[in-house]
Chains A and B, each alone.
Chain A
Amino acid sequence: MRTIYILWLRQLKRYTRSRSRIIGSLGQPLLFLFAFGFGFSPIYQRAGGGNYIAFLAPGIIAQGILFTAIFAGIELIWDRQFGFLKETLVAPVSRLEIMIGRTLGGATIATLQGVIIFFLTLLAGFRPANWWLLLPAVAFMFLIATLFTALGTAIASTMSDFQGFQLIMNFLIMPLFFLSGALFPLDGIPPVLAAIASFNPLSYGVDGLRGVLLNATHFGMGRDIAVLSALTVLVLLIGNYLFSKIEI
Chain B
Amino acid sequence: MPTSSAITVKNLTRKYGDFVAVDGISFDVPQGEIFAFLGPNGAGKTTTIKMLTTLLRPSAGEILVNGHDSVREQDAVRKSFGIVFQDQSLDEELTAYENMEFHGILYGVPTELRERRIRELLEIVELWDRRDNQVKTFSGGMRRRLEIARGLLHHPRIFFLDEPTLGLDPQTRNQIWTYINNLNKTEKITVFFTTHYMEEAERFAKHIAVIDHGNIIAQGTAESLKKKTKASSLEDAFLELTGHAIREEHATGLDHLRQHRKMWGGRR
Contact = CB atoms under 8 A, between A and B. Distances in A.
Interface in A44-101: 80-93
Contacts of B102: 6, 10, 87
Interface stretch (A12-20, A135-143, A207-215): A12-20
Nearest to B83: A90
A180 interface: no
Interface residues of A, number: 28
A10 B78 contact: no
A169 B239 CA distance: 50
Contacts of A88: 106
Contacts of A162: 260, 263-264
A22 to B, nearest CB: 13
A12 B176 CA distance: 33
Contacts of A86: 55, 85, 89
Interface in B210-268: 253-254, 256-257, 260, 263-264, 268
Contact of A248 (B55, B257, B268): B55
B108 interface: yes
A92 B79 contact: yes
Contacts of A87: 89-91, 102-103, 150
A215 B75 CA distance: 50
B151 to A, nearest CB: 9
Contacts of A93: 106
Contacts of A89: 54-55
A70 to B, nearest CB: 16
A165 B237 CA distance: 48
A162 B75 CA distance: 31
Contacts of B90: 83-84, 87
B78 A84 contact: no
B179 interface: no
The interface centre, meaning the residue of A14, A18, A84 with most chain B CB atoms within 10 A of its CB, is: A84
Interface in A206-235: none
B83 A13 contact: no
